[in-house]
Amino acid sequence: MGSFFSRTMDDNMKKQQEFMLMNSQLQLERQIQMQNLMREKQMAMQVAWTREFLKYYGTFFSLAALALTAGAVKQKKPGLFVPIIPLGFVFAYQYDMGYGTLIHRMKGTAENIIEKENNLLELPQGLPTFESIEKARKAQRKFFVDK
């Protein structure tokens, strides 16, 4: 009789453990999906911001280039063309970010860093541990309690 109850309890415990494992795996998958979706939304907002900024900067750049060109021709001072060069670089960067391949190149560089230069990605003093987090939490709590 005792072995019957023991076997039933063991079966129930195994089922409970399998359920907990499946549930934690499902929760982890959902968290990963949510974080990826948030990352995609943030990147989309960054590209949209860049494209919107490009509209305003492009207008400024065009007006500045026209005014500087007209001034250089009218006053016969070729030095007035000089500001067009750095302004042009900024315009080219913004265009590449908004409509070009800059993001793809950055992704490739990031993948290369992860694969070949991952020592650059290490956190100072390594990954936080439960013990280090608890120590910091207790120290902060003590700080606020003492005040």
Q: What is the mean pLDDT of the chain?
A: 91
Cβ–Cβ < 8 Å for 45, 64: no
Percent of the chain with pLDDT over 90: 70
- Reported as a single tens digit per residue, the pLDDT across 10-24 is 888 889 999 999 999
Return the amino acid letter for 101.
T
Cβ–Cβ < 8 Å for 47, 98: yes
- Give me the pLDDT at residue 7, please: 81
How far is it between the farthest Cα atoms of the chain? Answer: 109
Among 24-38, 41-55, 103-117, 128-142, the range scoring the smallest mean pLDDT is: 128-142
- The single residue listed with the structure tokens 């079966």 is 11
Q: For residues 91-95, give the mean pLDDT.
A: 95
Angle separating helix axes 2-75 and 84-99, nearest 10 degrees: 150
The sign one gets for the Cα dihedral 54, 55, 57, 59 is positive
